[in-house]
Amino acid sequence: MPTPEDTVAYFRRRLQHETDPADVYAAQRAGYRFVILDVRNAEAWAQGRIQGALHLPHADLPARAPRELDPAVPVVVYCWSPGCNGGVRGALALASLGYDVKEMNGGFEYWAREGLPTVDDDGPLPRTFDPLVTVVRR
């Protein structure tokens, strides 16, 4: 059985490597300098993405990241949803290259379900707020 100290250390480590849509949006609005990186494929990117995100599919990261991402700027990666491990793959690839990286829990699904800004190639998408994942204010 883990000690209380081990349990605290475990959760502290998780928070060093994970974040969530609400915290990413708050950091974005506060003007923190970081990259939001969509690691899904081109079809998923075209369907919709986080406003302000960059696109580098996780399979392309080893070749493209050193050319396209500043290693001094922290990165938050996301994929589709909690059921997708593309974000983990992307975070692993970036960490292996020496980037300061976090995975965004919930991925694009929970960003959109919380009603946070999304876009596609034609511009902003409608914002809908899912009462199962966020407080809906009237």
User: Which residues have a Cβ under 8 Å from the Cβ of 65 and sit 6 or more positions away?
Assistant: 56, 93, 94, 97, 99
* No. of helices (H) and no. of strands (E), the chain: 6, 8
Q: Is the dihedral of CA 94, 96, 97, 102 positive or negative?
A: positive
Catalytic residue among 35, 65, 79, 94: 79
Strand partners, 49: 119
Contact 76, 36 (CB under 8 A): yes
- Tell me the β-bridge partners of 37: 54, 77
Active site residue 79: yes
User: Could you give the residue numbers annotated as active site?
Assistant: 79
